[in-house]
Structure 1
């Protein structure tokens, strides 16, 4: 792993913010520019995971300009950006492990509820795990999933509105591979053959992505 973040922090501490920003191309440094600089300096990935453009620099150009202003060799900056780009590409292509909250729900359980309403609430049955989960060894992924199960049970009280009482969780850790986890967090066994239901609405045969508030996942 590159030590570029440490190099930048060490050199930047001896430079006045506005002088550094002016050298980077900001003729009249503004508070938002100083805020961005401070954010990048404190970030282990130097702002490369947060797309941003302030009418002067995008995320990569900002880092390049910062390195030039601090007289850090261009090849060090280029190598760091390439490393982050490769990781970002791998993350996009990797299977992102997640949890399905199984309440044994059947459409007949809510005969009067519009399908649109169920589709809007579908996200409550699908729990995200941290974006870095796929990078972890298998055993650590499972520990993380078990911890999320216990956390979700505490948040939800063991029940999802509309969907019903939580019976189990399915840890989807790879394409067509699942593990059954009890509400207590105990692993019950392989569940790879289990199909997952999904409520959705379509327009001209294409699924419509419905906006939702992830803060409601546990209620």
Structure 2
């Protein structure tokens, strides 16, 4: 068998899987159709490493805690790429959520592992660029993390390579035939056609995920 894990796609998902698998000693290979990482969704994101604030409203507290833990890990391990930034939450007279509910949500966010929030004094509202003060009732300041999404993806992929993962750019996935023991994958790269055997095939192709699924035997349900 050529590798333990073959990953299709060098976006943030593929890069993260490659890094974690290489850390654990697996033989990892990743193929990417473009000439560099993060050519799809991973370079067109919101640029936020958010802690899951919006999930509080649906009661997904465990998920919020996990998001905040991951955020703190990235802030600690990638300080040059992931930084803490202030965000402002305005509350207007016609806002569907009352001020107390938003304050309670931010308090819970802090309790689950977030950073302190404050209520911005009315005298400071005028210093917030672009803020419409008509009907404004309150403004809260809280903190989340920002990143350069492409640079973060590339850094994680570089670390995966340093741990032994093999990364092949300009390499297109053609087809795969999988059974209970392995996958036989055909791809086409700079040196021509190549057949690779892997114990596990991971589809991290982003916007092209269903195109990949359609070329895998046995066929899977599109995502």
For the pair shown, the structure with the greater C-alpha radius of gyration is 1
The TM-score normalised by the length of structure 1 is 0.21
Normalized per residue, which structure has more helix?
A: 1
Higher relative contact order (CA 8 A, sep 6+): 2
The TM-score normalised by the length of structure 2 is 0.21
